[in-house]
Amino acid sequence: MATIEGLTDAEFSSAPTLCEGWAPRDVLAHVIGTDSATPYLRGGLRVGRVNGAITAEAGRRSRADLTGAGRRWAAEPSGFGRAGSLFLLGDLGVHHQDVLRGLGRTREVPEEVSAAIFREGALLSLLLNRRVLRHRLLPTPGRPVGRGPTVSGPREALGMWLAGRDVAAADLVFGR
What is the SS3 string spanning 88-99? Answer: HHHHHHHHHHHH
Give the end-to-end CA distance of the chain in Å, rounded to a whole number: 40
Lowest-pLDDT range of 81-90, 91-100, 106-115 = 81-90
* Percent helix / strand / coil, the chain, rounded to 5: 60, 5, 30
Beta pairing partners, 137: 145, 151
pLDDT tens-digit series, residues 14-65 = 999 999 889 999 999 988 887 777 777 777 767 778 888 888 888 888 999 9
Domain extents for the chain? 2-102, 114-174
86: phi then psi, degrees, rounded to nearest 5 = -60, -45
Name, of 39-43, 85-89, 103-107, the range with top average pLDDT.
103-107
Q: How confident is the model at residue 101 (pLDDT cuts 50, 70, 90)?
A: very high
